[in-house]
Chains A and B, each alone.
Chain A
Amino acid sequence: MAAVERPYPPGDYDVVVVGSGPGGLQTSYCLRRLGVRHAVLSRDDRPGGMFQRFPIFQRLITWTKPDAPVERGSREYEWYDHNSLLAEEPEAKALVPGLMDRAFDLPSRAEMEAGLAAFAERAQVEVRYGCTWESTRHEGEQIVLGTSDGEYRCRAVVFALGVTEPWRADVPGLEHAAHYVDTMKCDRYADRDVFVVGKRNSGFEVAQGILPWARSIVLGSPRPVQTDALALSALRVRYLHPYDEYARGGPGTYVIDVSIERIEPVGERLRVFTRGTTWDGALEFEVDDVIAATGFQTPLQDLPQLGLVTVADGRIPALTPYWESVSLPGVFFAGNASQGARGIGKRGAGASSSSVNGFRYNARVLARHLAERLNGHEPGREPVADVVSFLLRELTSAPELWVQKGYLCRVVSASDGTHVDEGVVPLATFLDSPGPDAFAASVEVDETGRIIPTLYVRRRGEIAEHQLDPHPLHEYESEPYRRHVEVLVGAYATRSHSAAPAISTVASTSSQVATRPSATTLSRRGANVHTSASSPRFDGG
C-alpha cells in the first residue's frame, strides 16, 4: 500500500463517505457522476464490506437471473438482477450475473464479493483503504471526522457502515451462547442439542446450516411465526427447511414462540428457561449449545453520544426519508443502515433498504439530494412528451419502483400544459412537501400481498391517490390502463386550462367525500380506476 499514492488525504471535502461495501461504493459512484467533491474512507483493505464474510452459509437470498426477457445491462434488467451495483458505463453494469456459476439464481457470497470488486475496478471508484474512522464532532456547520490518518472536515457525512456488528438481546446468561457470527463450522454441532435464540434471517439460516448435523434444534423467540409473512419473505428461498420440518411434525426440530427468561450452565450443558408468548406455560430445555441469532447492529461508535437517535434497541439509526439522522443534521446513512428510514409504511410495508437491490437506488437518490443541497446542483430535467405512456411505462418496468415498493416514486410535474420528469424521490417527500402540480407513480402492495400500481396527483397542494387495477402479468401499458390514466391526466389538463364539470370531480379527490362520486363518474366512462376511499379492498381492514 505504501508504494501506491493513496487517494483522499485528510482535509476539507463537501462530503465524506465512510465504508467500502456496496453502499459506500454506490454512493461514491453517484456523487462523482454529479460532480460532488468527496472522499471515501474504509478501514478495510479491499472493497466488498460484509460480503467478505457474510452470509456465513455462503448463499444470498436475493435473485440475479443471468438471462432475462430484457437485455442484460438495460434499466429494465435491474429488476432481474438484484445484486449488481448501478452504473452508466456499459463495462461497469450488471456485473454479478457474468460471475455466477448458475447453481442457483441466487449468487454465492464469493460471486457477490467478486462482483463488488469488479465494480470498484471498472467504475474506478477510489477508496482510501486502511483509514479507520475513530471520532466525530461538530464545529459550527462542519462535521469533523477523526481518523487513523488525520482529520477530515465536511458539510455532510454519509456512513455506509453496514449492519453487521453482532448484537445480543438483554437476556441473563446469553453470554454463554455463541453468536451467529461464530458458527462457521457446522460439523462442531454434530450429534448435539442446540437452542437457537431468534427466528429472523440469521436464526433460520443457522438452523438450516446445522440441520444435517445437530441431534435436535429448537428455535425460540417471542415473535410468533406468521406463515403468511414467511411465505412472502426472502428467507423462504433458502432457509425454511427447519420450519417446514417442524410444521409437518418432523421430529427433533421445533420452532416455538417464547420469551427467553434466562440461561444457566449445568455442568457441560446449558439450561434455557422459557415462557410462552402465544400460549400459556413455561418450558425448560437442556442443550449442548445455545446460539444467539439475535441480529446485528450498525457500528455507530460515538454517534449516540453526539445525540444520534436510534430504533430497534439502539441498533439502527432513525432516519428521515432522505436517510438523514432525525437528530443530527448533515449525518446521512447509506447501505444496509438506510433501513432506518421506513417511509410511509402503508399497511405496515417497509422499504427494501436492507439489501443491495434497494439501497443501490437510495444511494443514487441521496447523491442527487446532496448535490442539490450542498452544491445547488440543478439536475437536467427532461420534458415528457407523452405523460400517460411515461407513467404507465414506469409502473410496468421501473426497477426503482418495483424494488422500493411504496418507498420511491417517479415524479412528473405539470405546468402550463408542459410535463417534466422530476426523477425518482422518496414517496414521503412527494406527499409531504409543497410543490407544483405533479403526478407520482408508485408500485405498492396491499394487505394480501397483491401488487397495486398507484398514481398520486398533486393539484394546488392537495394530493389524491388513485389505485389502478392489478394485472396478472404486472403489465400496465395496455389500452384499459391507458384510458384510466388519460382520465386522470386529462382531468388535470382540462381543469387547469378551462374547467370542465364532469372531470373536475375527478381532480378533487383529495377529500373522502368527494372521492365517492368521482369513482362513479370514472366507471361510467369505462375507466375502472379505484380511488382510495371507495375501494372495496380496504373495507373491513
Chain B
Amino acid sequence: MSIAETLGQLALFADLSPSQLEAIAHSHEEDVFAAGERVLRKGLSGGNFYVILEGEAAVGIGGEQRVKLMRGDYFGEISALTGDVPTADVVASTMLRCLVIPAPQLERLLLDRPQLMLRMLRMEAHRLRNTLEWQP
C-alpha cells in the first residue's frame, strides 16, 4: 500500500482528498526505526512531527514507559508547535514506520488544510481530557 493510501485510512487525514494525500505523502519522507531506537529525543532541539504508519512506540518520562502509541497516532506535535524541546523520549517498541514532517512544514500544512488542523485539535483535546482524568 502506498503512503498516500495508508494516510487515507488514518483518522487524522480522514477529511482529505486522494490528491491532497498524495501531495502530503510525496512532500515528506518516510522513516523506519528498529525496535529500541529513539525517535524523539528529550531535551534536544529540532524534533519533527511523526505520524505512525505501522508499528508501535512508547513515550518515556523519567525512565518509565508512560504511553503506548500505535498506527494512526502521532507525536512530536507539542515541540513542533511551541518551539520548545521535547520533554520526553519516544522510543520504537517494535519496528516502527513513520511519516516525518519537520516543524516549519507542519505549520504550513495545518494552515493549508484546516480540516487537518481541526482533526488534530480534537485529538489534542481528547489527550488533554485523558491527562486531566488521570490526575490523582
Residue of B nearest to A454 (CB): B45
Contact A347 B85 (CB under 8 A): no
Q: Which residues of chain B (1-46) have a CB below 8 Å from chain A?
A: 2-4, 18-20, 22-23, 25-27, 29-34, 37-38, 41, 43-46
Contact A541 B80 (CB under 8 A): yes
Contact A465 B19 (CB under 8 A): no
A346 within 8 Å of B (CB atoms): yes
Docked complex Cα distance between A114 and B43 (Å) = 47
Contact B19 A275 (CB under 8 A): yes
Residue of B nearest to A277 (CB): B23
Q: A346-B45, A540-B83 are in contact. Are A276 and B19 (CB under 8 A)?
A: yes
Docked complex Cα distance between A278 and B24 (Å) = 10
A354 within 8 Å of B (CB atoms): no
Residue of B nearest to A318 (CB): B32
Contact A223 B84 (CB under 8 A): no
Q: How would residues 312 to 350 of chain A score, 1 for a CB under 8 Å from any chain B CB and 0 otherwise?
A: 110000101000001100000000000000101111111
Q: How would residues 77 to 108 of chain B score, 1 for a CB under 8 Å from any chain A CB and 0 otherwise?
A: 00011111101000000010100111111110
Specify which of A221, A342, A432, A535 is in contact with B31 (CB 8 Å cutoff): A342
Q: A327-B95, A347-B46, A447-B104 are in contact. Are A539 and B34 (CB under 8 A)?
A: no
Docked complex Cα distance between A222 and B17 (Å) = 13
Docked complex Cα distance between A311 and B54 (Å) = 12
Docked complex Cα distance between A393 and B45 (Å) = 24
Contact B22 A277 (CB under 8 A): yes
Residue of A nearest to B3 (CB): A313
Contact B44 A222 (CB under 8 A): no
Smallest Cβ distance from B26 to chain A, in angstroms? 4
CB-based A-B contact count at 8 angstroms: 131
Specify which of A432, A467, A538 is in contact with B37 (CB 8 Å cutoff): A432
Residue of B nearest to A465 (CB): B44
- Chain B residues lying within 8 Å of A310, measured Cβ to Cβ, are 32
- Chain A residues lying within 8 Å of B19, measured Cβ to Cβ, are 222, 258-259, 275-277
Docked complex Cα distance between A194 and B38 (Å) = 45
A512 within 8 Å of B (CB atoms): yes
Q: A311-B31, A465-B43, A541-B83 are in contact. Are A348 and B20 (CB under 8 A)?
A: no
- Chain B residues lying within 8 Å of A221, measured Cβ to Cβ, are 26
Smallest Cβ distance from A404 to chain B, in angstroms? 16
- Chain A residues lying within 8 Å of B97, measured Cβ to Cβ, are 311
Q: How would residues 412 to 438 of chain A score, 1 for a CB under 8 Å from any chain B CB and 0 otherwise?
A: 000000000000000010011000000
A464 within 8 Å of B (CB atoms): yes
- Chain A residues lying within 8 Å of B33, measured Cβ to Cβ, are 326
Q: How would residues 54 to 88 of chain B score, 1 for a CB under 8 Å from any chain A CB and 0 otherwise?
A: 00000000000000000000000000111111010
- Chain B residues lying within 8 Å of A327, measured Cβ to Cβ, are 34, 95
Contact A431 B46 (CB under 8 A): no
Q: A259-B22, A277-B22 are in contact. Are A463 and B44 (CB under 8 A)?
A: yes
Specify which of A278, A348, A446, A533 is in contact with B85 (CB 8 Å cutoff): A533
A480 within 8 Å of B (CB atoms): no
Contact A224 B43 (CB under 8 A): no
Docked complex Cα distance between A444 and B45 (Å) = 11
Q: A463-B43, A463-B44, A532-B44 are in contact. Are A309 and B32 (CB under 8 A)?
A: yes
Specify which of B32, B87, B101, B104 is in contact with A512 (CB 8 Å cutoff): B87
Residue of B nearest to A538 (CB): B83
- Chain B residues lying within 8 Å of A320, measured Cβ to Cβ, are 34, 37
- Chain A residues lying within 8 Å of B85, measured Cβ to Cβ, are 512, 532-533, 538
Specify which of B26, B34, B41 is in contact with A344 (CB 8 Å cutoff): B41
Q: A447-B104, A538-B83 are in contact. Are A346 and B46 (CB under 8 A)?
A: yes
Specify which of A224, A309, A318, A347 is in contact with B102 (CB 8 Å cutoff): A347
A510 within 8 Å of B (CB atoms): yes
Contact B45 A467 (CB under 8 A): yes
Docked complex Cα distance between A348 and B31 (Å) = 11
Smallest Cβ distance from A344 to chain B, in angstroms? 7
A and B contact pairs by CB, cutoff 8 A, 18 listed: A222-B26, A259-B19, A277-B20, A311-B31, A311-B97, A342-B31, A344-B46, A345-B100, A347-B102, A348-B103, A350-B29, A431-B41, A431-B44, A465-B43, A532-B85, A538-B83, A541-B106, A541-B107
Closest 7 CB pairs of A and B: A348-B102, A346-B46, A318-B32, A277-B23, A532-B45, A223-B26, A222-B22
Give the interface of A toward B (CB within 8 A).
170, 221-224, 257-259, 275-278, 309-313, 318, 320, 326-327, 342, 344-350, 428, 431-432, 444, 446-447, 463-465, 467, 510-512, 515, 532-533, 535, 538-541
Given contacts A276-B19, A539-B83, 20 further A-B contacts (CB under 8 A): A222-B22, A223-B27, A259-B18, A259-B19, A259-B23, A277-B23, A313-B2, A327-B34, A344-B46, A346-B45, A347-B104, A348-B48, A348-B100, A350-B29, A432-B41, A465-B44, A512-B84, A533-B45, A541-B81, A541-B107
